[in-house]
A and B are shown apart, each in its own frame.
Chain A
Amino acid sequence: MNTAAPDKASITIDGRTSEVAPGVTILTAARQMGISIPTLCNYRGMEPIGACRVCIVELETPRGPRQVSSCNYPVEDGMKVNTDTPAIRESRTIILELLLAEAPNSKKLAEFAAALGVTSTPFEKKPDGECILCGLCVKVCGDLMGRGAISMFGRGAKREVLPAYDEKSEQCQVCGACDFVCPTDASDHTHVATAATRKHLTAYNQYLEARPNIDMAHPQATPRVPFIDRKTCVHLTTGECGLCAEVCGAGAIDYEQKETIQELDVGAVLLTPGFSAFDPLRRIEYGTGFDANVIANTQFERLLSAAGPTKGHVRRPSDNATPKSIAFIQCVGSRDSKMCNDYCSSVCCMAATKEAILAKQHEPDTQVTVYYMDMRAYGKDFDRYFNRAKEMGVSYVRCRPSSVEQVSGTKNLKITYMSEDNRCVTAEHDLVVLSLGLEPSASLKDQVDRFNVMLNQWGFVLTSELSPLETSRPGVFVGGALAEPKDIPDTVMQASAVAAKAMALLASARGTRVKTKTYPPERDVTDEPPRVGVFICHCGSNIASVVDVEAVVQRTKTLPFVVHAERNMYTCADDTQDQIKDKIIKYRLNRVIVASCTPRTHEAIFRDTLRDAGLNPYLLEMANIRDQCSWVHTGEPDKATEKAKDLVRMTVGRTVGLKPLVESTVPVKNAALIIGGGVGGMTAALSIADQGYGVFLVEKENVLGGMAREIHETLDKSNVSAFVSHLIDRVESHPRIKAYLHSTVKKVDGHVGDFTSDIVTPETTLKVEHGVVILASGAKELKPQSFGYGKSDKVITQLELSGRIARNELALPEKSTIVMIQCVEQRNDERPYCSRVCCTTAVKNALLLRKRYPKARILVLYREMRTYGFREAAYREARENGIMFVRYDDKRLPEVAVDKGLTVRVTDKILGRELIMTPDLLVLAAPIVARDDRQDLSDLLRVPLNADGFFLEAHVKLRPVDFASEGLFLCGTAHSPKFISETISQANAVAGRAASILSRKRMPVGAQTAWVDPNKCIACMTCVHVCPYLAPQIGKDNKAEIQAAVCMGCGSCTSSCPAKAITLHHYLDVQILGAINSLLAGTFEEQPVETTYLEKVGVAQPRWKK
């Protein structure tokens, strides 16, 4: 009978008119307009109940003002509403005073009332009152959860919320919704539920912290999308609730999402799923599961993290106290044949050392003890770090603890172990941390199984020493801890390495699926005065529920140069972006501001929008009013609104000074220069050449192969000699590799993508052009000065022994005595590092000798056996084969006399007795040292060396094969001592990293680079000294010039230049000061520059400021 309902209703709230859908409540309309009305019992997404009355507002009616509750009063067309009149304030005050009397014990209510200016109540307070009887909990339990476990009982003053018969009820599903919605924190589901509360624990925080049912995997998760825990979601388990879908303004909740199976057509598979930690419940003697203060190292790591459950304060679980004494137990589930894990997990020694140092740094008085068997500090600079821990007071006790027992009462823990002098010792600690081994979990094995690759005896993917990246199935490659336990740098290396493997395999398909987007031509805005358009985002309710967006829009409209300001529900939505493009054209905008979330995630999106509209992308600026405003000032809407206004104003101040920037490109020379023709250099050369690029391989000796020519076979009995000759054959016959023997590199000019170098060959000097440089210059074994080396022909090094075994040159008596001394002239004050390979080499050679001389007596005098990873199994095999391992102390080195035959004396740490031997052969584990020409190479390429003379990478963990200067890489023993398998991985990694440059025809040069004004430069060299990337150079005119391709855009030079001759594009003074000045500012006087005289005399313009 009526006419069709209109689809819009006009409403005026506090003088602002807006159109909303008819039938929505006043409260909803106000929220959409960014006007906040206080309420207690209204919960977004739920039917209004109108119980608390705090949300009252005043309606203007023909009969005068009328007070109604806004949460359940529907909007009518033409309605006029006031939310903040004296009458409303008075009524609201009385309502709050009554509520305060009803629930005087609620802190949450008191805070809420105080924020509205009500701090006390004249009415009689209900003793112990916490609940305002709004019934929200009853409603959520009954209507939303479909349980009805609680209801209102009693009348009048006796009214209260109770479960049926005031008894705990099975009706309660322990979802916690009642507690969650309660506006006064009065609700407590544990009084209702028979079932125990189940906490959702975060995997990210290692089960130390509860999390909501809808959560992000971790704060930096990619993609940054929350997920719903299906197992505990009420909607997905019972069909009830569904509140999140109601609330989400973006409509992003989709309960129907299902796992889908997609078929992909790929040419190579890279397996990098990682590892899982040993389950400590399998070693129950250490108390996991029943002793609260025994935790895993992964958990301890989270306790140390500032973003962890305790905000970086180390607290023990039982009583949240700061532990005074922390114990680490090493090798839990590693080097453990009972658990079938008789390999070493490689990373735990250093991880525990790091955690011990961090714990000490957090609380310097903490006693930290590490119970360990061998300290496997085998990596680059690891020994230094270990020594630092000892200097900081971390104690290391060599043993394998037999048990951990909890002390009743204190819940401290007693660790029992056999000391080195064979006494049974018990030590008490406040907290025990178990260093869990690395192993492939059942689910990982299951995943890997589907790829039909062979696994080794421990369930890791089977590889061999000379092909560490290939699985048993062609085209399937493996990287990281799935092939063997390894630390971050080794894993990062292998990741790049498998990428190179796949790229070589798929070289012919490279670039075939690339799509390029086209943009309209860019509008020239140079001569236009700034015309700024500001788009302010509600982000659903993320911003609008706190910040009064309309107020920000109105304020922004008053700012100079702002020709358009508007607000959007979601500025990043496709349709809004189309609108932005339209507005850019309609208002002829030449600067765009998006006030929404963080530029870290959205700048690229909006820059693209600008390009689509024909504007230079650098004319965009963002104001972060969500992550850094509405989200962090939820309780202070007024202040948050003011802050948002300030942030937008600062952004306008910056934006008017923005200039269009051009992202240029430089051509790339698609070839690599490799210095060093050993296994590292050749492997890198082949990988790069197989990927389709040219290689200049420069070797200073007259033969390829390097140190590997001395090695006969690896621990897994792969034939190194055959491998090296095969490499040489391939390198020499490869059409894309040019090898120069007996040659050196003399000069390297240019920058990433475009180098020119001189190679000096015996015949001539030739110039080559290339895009990257790879340093693979290797290392060498030091000829020892001690232990009788050089004085007796019975004393040789391990490398010499390897060679003699290979060439079958050993002639020893059947029952001979062979002694090996480890750590010769290394891990001392002069060379405080470990050569990584000697322990394994000794074990390998001892086993080879054992086979040849079954009756020989073989002794290895060692300080610490560092047979990490699967090498541990060989160490075990050696012991089982009767090879004797005698540990000596670094304070009492073995003594060798050569005068009357060869005599070795050593004090056995374990027996506590001196042993005297007269060996037929003494083998020394000499250190691997940096090559003599390291300084020349360092100067040639301008790359740094570490204290031990090895080349220093850009970042020890994250960029292990890159130098800090772009386009320069390193691999092999030039980086640090390592095994052939590791050199092969690293060489492939370098090839992968190099290809990321060589695969391009042109390289983009960042637009945000530094630029020198030659008129102002006085060539003082400051920038040259300051730049960590060597980007500034003194050019032909004796003025500094910055090579844009090398500049990383950090601005270090700009902030050091005494003449202010250098500017960083996009961070000009006018932009930075524009932002600062528009936050708070004083008066300003501008005086014109008088130029007539200058033109006359032709001198440089004076630099007037102010």
Chain B
Amino acid sequence: MIVADRKKIPEIRDMVQGHNRILVVGCGTCVTVCLAGGERETGIIGSALRMSLKLAGRENVAVHECTIERQCEDAFIDVLGQRVGEYDAILSLGCGAGVQALAERFPKTAVYPGLNTQFMGILESQGVWAEKCAGCGNCRLGQYFGICPITRCSKRQLSGPCGSSRNGKCEVSEQTDCAWQLIYDRAKSLGKVAMLESVAVPQDWSTSNDGGARKVVREDQCIAGMGPKA
């Protein structure tokens, strides 16, 4: 799941400066689960933005709210359809992908992000989300017993812990578990500590986003005439 959290109201207010009709669009998928951009948060941010604009002397700005199933899917975006024509700006409470999907779909409407998209992660406990995946494009979790050192080790160490692993914690923060401690513990419980003795081959970063935005193409699924854009 993609995890995000909300931007502060003044930042949003300043972003939408100059617009008179704003549609706040929530997303009903990842960001709802991480309690950042679902229908509830859309209502809260809409209400807060209205008040904020009013206090800034922009009482006549119309701020309306709507939550769609998924902002990264055209069929759901189309639900907004013609209605969007009535607005001069959209505040998206989706992840970065959602914001861009809306912007692509509505070329004549300004689209702004209401959230800061953080990472791919999971719920650790109610109200706490933890990063688990960096989307490097070359998954080696099998080698590390299901714990990703690229995401979870502050130094992205691939061949064992650094010298600052203390009592299972990372030197960067007392709150951060040392990924290598976790990898070791898990290897031990699986009886595969020996596997850690070999030096890992370097990571092939060419699959990561270093070379610009990536695409995944499944030829067999492509519809004739609708292949990847050049």
Let me know if chains A and B touch directly in the complex, using CB atoms closer than 8 Å: yes
A interface residues (Cβ-Cβ under 8 A, vs B): 1016, 1018, 1020-1022, 1025-1026, 1057-1060, 1085, 1087, 1090, 1093-1094, 1097, 1099-1100, 1102-1106
Are the CB atoms of A1059 and B38 closer together than 8 Å?
A: yes
Are the CB atoms of B126 and A1105 closer together than 8 Å?
A: no
Residues on B with C-beta less than 8 A from A1058 are 32-33, 35, 38-41
Q: Known contacts A1018-B33, A1021-B123; is A1102 also within 8 Å of B75 by CB? A: no
Are the CB atoms of B43 and A1020 closer together than 8 Å?
A: no
Complex A-B, nearest 3 residue pairs according to Cβ-Cβ distance, in ascending order: A1058-B38, A1020-B33, A1025-B126
Are the CB atoms of B32 and A1020 closer together than 8 Å?
A: yes
Residues on B with C-beta less than 8 A from A1104 are 64-66
Are the CB atoms of A1102 and B38 closer together than 8 Å?
A: no
Pick 28 A–B contacts, CB within 8 A, sort by A. Answer: A1016-B39, A1018-B28, A1018-B29, A1018-B38, A1021-B123, A1022-B35, A1022-B126, A1058-B35, A1058-B39, A1059-B32, A1059-B40, A1059-B67, A1093-B79, A1097-B75, A1099-B75, A1100-B28, A1102-B66, A1102-B67, A1102-B68, A1104-B64, A1104-B65, A1104-B66, A1105-B42, A1105-B43, A1105-B66, A1106-B46, A1106-B63, A1106-B64
Residues on A with C-beta less than 8 A from B69 are 1099-1100
Query: B83 within 8 Å of A by Cβ?
Result: yes
A825 to B168, CA, bound (A): 33
B interface residues (Cβ-Cβ under 8 A, vs A): 26, 28-29, 32-33, 35, 38-43, 46, 62-69, 75-76, 78-83, 86, 123, 126
Which of the listed residues B32, B43, B68 has the most CB atoms from chain A within 10 Å of its own CB? B32
Residue of B nearest to A1094 (CB): B79
Q: Give the A-B pair count, Cβ closer than 8 A.
A: 75
The minimal Cβ–Cβ distance linking A1076 to chain B, given in whole angstroms, is 12
The minimal Cβ–Cβ distance linking B142 to chain A, given in whole angstroms, is 28
The minimal Cβ–Cβ distance linking B158 to chain A, given in whole angstroms, is 34
Residues on B with C-beta less than 8 A from A1100 are 28, 69
Are the CB atoms of A1060 and B29 closer together than 8 Å?
A: no
Residues on B with C-beta less than 8 A from A1057 are 40
Q: CB within 8 A of B81: which of A1021, A1025, A1090, A1103? A: A1090
Residue of B nearest to A1026 (CB): B126
The minimal Cβ–Cβ distance linking A1053 to chain B, given in whole angstroms, is 12
Q: CB within 8 A of A1085: which of B46, B62, B83? A: B62
Residues on A with C-beta less than 8 A from B79 are 1093-1094, 1099, 1102
A1103 to B25, CA, bound (A): 10
Residue of B nearest to A1025 (CB): B126
Which of the listed residues A1016, A1057, A1100, A1106 has the most CB atoms from chain B within 10 Å of its own CB? A1106
Q: Known contacts A1103-B67, A1105-B65; is A1059 also within 8 Å of B39 by CB? A: yes
Residues on A with C-beta less than 8 A from B41 are 1058
Are the CB atoms of A1018 and B46 closer together than 8 Å?
A: no
The minimal Cβ–Cβ distance linking A348 to chain B, given in whole angstroms, is 42
Residues on A with C-beta less than 8 A from B66 are 1102-1105
A598 to B33, CA, bound (A): 40
Residue of B nearest to A1093 (CB): B81
The minimal Cβ–Cβ distance linking B24 to chain A, given in whole angstroms, is 9
Q: Known contacts A1022-B126, A1099-B76; is A1105 also within 8 Å of B40 by CB? A: no
Q: Known contacts A1099-B69, A1106-B64; is A1060 also within 8 Å of B78 by CB? A: no
Which of the listed residues B38, B46, B76, B81 has the most CB atoms from chain A within 10 Å of its own CB? B38
Residue of A nearest to B62 (CB): A1085
Are the CB atoms of B38 and A1093 closer together than 8 Å?
A: no
Which of the listed residues B28, B65, B78, B80 has the most CB atoms from chain A within 10 Å of its own CB? B28
A37 to B64, CA, bound (A): 51
Residues on B with C-beta less than 8 A from A1085 are 62
Residue of A nearest to B69 (CB): A1100
The minimal Cβ–Cβ distance linking A618 to chain B, given in whole angstroms, is 25
Residues on A with C-beta less than 8 A from B39 are 1016, 1058-1060, 1103, 1105
A1087 to B84, CA, bound (A): 13
Residue of A nearest to B35 (CB): A1058
Are the CB atoms of A1090 and B83 closer together than 8 Å?
A: yes
Residues on A with C-beta less than 8 A from B33 are 1018, 1020, 1058
Residues on B with C-beta less than 8 A from A1094 are 79
Are the CB atoms of B65 and A1106 closer together than 8 Å?
A: yes
A1021 to B129, CA, bound (A): 14
Q: CB within 8 A of A1105: which of B64, B75, B123? A: B64
Other 11 A-B pairs with CB < 8 A, given A1090-B81, A1103-B66, A1105-B43:
A1025-B126, A1058-B41, A1085-B62, A1090-B83, A1093-B78, A1099-B76, A1102-B68, A1105-B42, A1105-B65, A1105-B66, A1106-B64
Residues on B with C-beta less than 8 A from A1087 are 64, 83, 86
The minimal Cβ–Cβ distance linking A1104 to chain B, given in whole angstroms, is 5
Residues on B with C-beta less than 8 A from A1106 are 46, 63-65
A1057 to B66, CA, bound (A): 16
Residues on B with C-beta less than 8 A from A1097 are 75, 78
A1097 to B80, CA, bound (A): 13
A150 to B57, CA, bound (A): 69
Residue of A nearest to B83 (CB): A1090
The minimal Cβ–Cβ distance linking B182 to chain A, given in whole angstroms, is 24
A1021 to B127, CA, bound (A): 11
Residue of B nearest to A1100 (CB): B69
The minimal Cβ–Cβ distance linking A1028 to chain B, given in whole angstroms, is 13
Are the CB atoms of B40 and A1060 closer together than 8 Å?
A: yes
Which of the listed residues B29, B46, B68 has the most CB atoms from chain A within 10 Å of its own CB? B68
The minimal Cβ–Cβ distance linking A49 to chain B, given in whole angstroms, is 58
Residues on A with C-beta less than 8 A from B32 are 1018, 1020, 1058-1059
A160 to B137, CA, bound (A): 102
A1104 to B43, CA, bound (A): 10
Residues on A with C-beta less than 8 A from B64 are 1087, 1104-1106
Residues on B with C-beta less than 8 A from A1026 are 126
Residue of A nearest to B1 (CB): A1020
Are the CB atoms of B29 and A1102 closer together than 8 Å?
A: no
The minimal Cβ–Cβ distance linking B61 to chain A, given in whole angstroms, is 12
The minimal Cβ–Cβ distance linking B17 to chain A, given in whole angstroms, is 21
A1097 to B68, CA, bound (A): 14
The minimal Cβ–Cβ distance linking A1032 to chain B, given in whole angstroms, is 13
The minimal Cβ–Cβ distance linking A340 to chain B, given in whole angstroms, is 58
A1021 to B28, CA, bound (A): 14
Residue of B nearest to A1090 (CB): B83
The minimal Cβ–Cβ distance linking A803 to chain B, given in whole angstroms, is 44
A1093 to B78, CA, bound (A): 8
Residue of A nearest to B29 (CB): A1018
Residues on A with C-beta less than 8 A from B42 are 1105
Residue of A nearest to B64 (CB): A1106
A43 to B195, CA, bound (A): 97
Which of the listed residues A1025, A1059, A1104 has the most CB atoms from chain B within 10 Å of its own CB? A1059
The minimal Cβ–Cβ distance linking A195 to chain B, given in whole angstroms, is 66
A1022 to B68, CA, bound (A): 20
Residue of B nearest to A1092 (CB): B81
The minimal Cβ–Cβ distance linking A1063 to chain B, given in whole angstroms, is 12
The minimal Cβ–Cβ distance linking B103 to chain A, given in whole angstroms, is 19
Residues on B with C-beta less than 8 A from A1059 are 28, 32, 38-40, 67
